[in-house]
Amino acid sequence: MKRFTAFLLLVSLLVFSLAGCGEKKPSEAPTVTPSEEATPELTATPTPTPTEAPVVNPLDSMTLKDRYKDVFKVGVALPNSVISNASQMEVVKEQFNSMTFENEMKPEALLDREATQKGYPDTKTEPILKFGGIERGLRFAEENGLGVRGHTLCWYSQTPAWFFTVDYQPNSALCSKEVMIARLESYIKQVMTYCQTNHPGLIYAWDVVNEAVDPGTGDANGIRKGKNLWYETIGPEFIQYAFRFARKYSDGTADLYYNDYGCANKRTIIVKVLAPILAEGNIDGIGMQSHLSTGDNIQNTIYKTAKYFASEGYKVQITELDIGVKTLNEDTELIQAMKYKLLFQFMEQAKLNGEIDIDSVTVWGLYDTISWRSKEHPLMYQTFKLNRKMAWYGAMQDPEIKAFEW
Ligand code: XIL
């Protein structure tokens, strides 16, 4: 409670000092959102007086998934270390209604190297997969009402090099385009069919292709080329093939997504690359990873980009949100919370006013110390004890956090 009082003080100080020193441009002043005005119970926090009892934040008894239940799912990426931790999963099911496997559904985890190699040449165009690593998570999701994002079918990374060679041996030559297209089809067919058969309707979005646009080092159209064995074997059409196969084998219960980072900077290139796929009717949305830092302007990088994708005919999801800070102290934690608040606020408003068709916002991990960016403390919980950070209150759009950008 002491901490919260200090936090309130800090908020006022920061707001006061920033407003005072003129860093806040009038054009970027925070919009007072209808949601804040429309939720009077959230503004009912008693003003502390010196002798008064501790402040109780009414948000403490609420949860993320309930806060946004009429707007979008709130998701979290989970490694198996969390999935197998019963007490942490209690918090997961209390707070979230969507999950993504942080690594276990990636090709390097699903491809059974030994069986595929052993089975060659029968396995030439039919690699063997193993699904043991995702069963526990899928069952948990099913039993507790969480939807699942399928991440990811076709990616240059975390897909083993042996998968691309003629006989699946690491040092052999790369296989032909025809064989690789057949392997891509078989892989997508097997993963989707397994999930749809054993857990019907559970997966509501597939990241069919991940991170295929890289204007810096890509080809003339901005398609990622370097270290991309999909490109090397199939050519730039690998993207189109992946979406074609995903549509072919989908039972229609999931949307098909293209997922990428740094979308603000490459949005027009992404839309250009995806245009033929959209024209074929094989894609539904664009996943914006949103690996951010507190220096990022949420309105410009996230909201405007999402709005642009929406205007081009795509659904949008925030798929891997985390917001890094260099060092974590009360000031930076507050700024981080402001950024979380702005992101949720912009997305909620855009959904409610029909600007952006967005059905989930997912954070990339449960707590800081196991985040892939652990040095930047980018998440809403701090340690395995799952102590809430201000970022959680930000994501809940706590009215005490006066969020604005400059
Ligand atoms: C990351 C995981 O968080 C790490 O544990 C793993 O070592 C590397 O991959 N973009 C993506 C995610 O699409 O799959 C990545 O996840 C983070 C960047």
Q: Measured from the CB, is residue 102 less than 6 Å from ligand 1? A: yes
Note the pLDDT of residue 47.
55
> Who's near 340: CB < 8 A, 6+ residues apart?
323, 380, 391, 392, 394, 395
Tokens 């076709």 map to which residue?
154
Q: Measured from the CB, is residue 289 less than 6 Å from ligand 1? A: yes
Going from the C-alpha of 34 to that of each of 44, 136, 345, 346, 398, the distances in angstroms are: 16, 41, 10, 11, 14
* Ligand 1: nearest atom to the Cα of 155: 13
Q: How far is the CA of 102 from the centre of ligand 1 (A)?
A: 7
**Residue closest by Cα to atom 7 of ligand 1:** 372
Query: d(Cα 330, Cα 6) in Å, to the nearest integer?
Result: 9
* Ligand 1: nearest atom to the Cα of 372: 3
Structural contact between residues 128 and 116, judged by C-beta atoms closer than 8 angstroms: yes
Q: How far is the CA of 313 from the centre of ligand 1 (A)?
A: 27
Q: Measured from the CB, is residue 210 less than 6 Å from ligand 1? A: yes
Structure-block tokens of residue 103 = 């690594």
* Ligand 1: nearest atom to the Cα of 259: 13
Closest to 398 measured CA to CA, from 1, 3, 8: 8
Q: Which residues are catalytic?
A: 211, 320
Q: How many Cα neighbours within 13 Å face the side chain of 21?
A: 7
Q: How far is the CA of 190 from the centre of ligand 1 (A)?
A: 22
Note the pLDDT of residue 30.
35
Query: d(Cα 189, Cα 320) in Å, to the nearest integer?
Result: 25
Query: d(Cα 283, Cα 273) in Å, to the nearest integer?
Result: 12
Block means of pLDDT (10 residues each) for the chain, length 406 residues? 43 39 33 36 49 83 98 98 97 98 98 98 98 98 98 98 98 98 99 98 98 96 97 98 98 98 98 98 99 98 98 99 96 97 98 98 98 98 97 98 92
Structural contact between residues 371 and 94, judged by C-beta atoms closer than 8 angstroms: no
Q: How far is the CA of 54 from the centre of ligand 1 (A)?
A: 41
* Ligand 1: nearest atom to the Cα of 207: 13
Q: State which of 83, 101, 102, 213 you would mutate to test the pocket of ligand 1, scoring each by most atoms of that ligand within 8 A of its C-beta.
A: 102
Note the pLDDT of residue 50.
57
Going from the C-alpha of 372 to that of each of 84, 294, 383, 389, the distances in angstroms are: 19, 17, 14, 18
Note the pLDDT of residue 56.
87
Structural contact between residues 290 and 318, judged by C-beta atoms closer than 8 angstroms: yes
Note the pLDDT of residue 37.
35
Query: d(Cα 58, Cα 44) in Å, to the nearest integer?
Result: 8
**Residue closest by Cα to atom 15 of ligand 1:** 102
Q: How far is the CA of 153 from the centre of ligand 1 (A)?
A: 14
Q: State which of 83, 158, 363 you would mutate to test the pocket of ligand 1, scoring each by most atoms of that ligand within 8 A of its C-beta.
A: 158
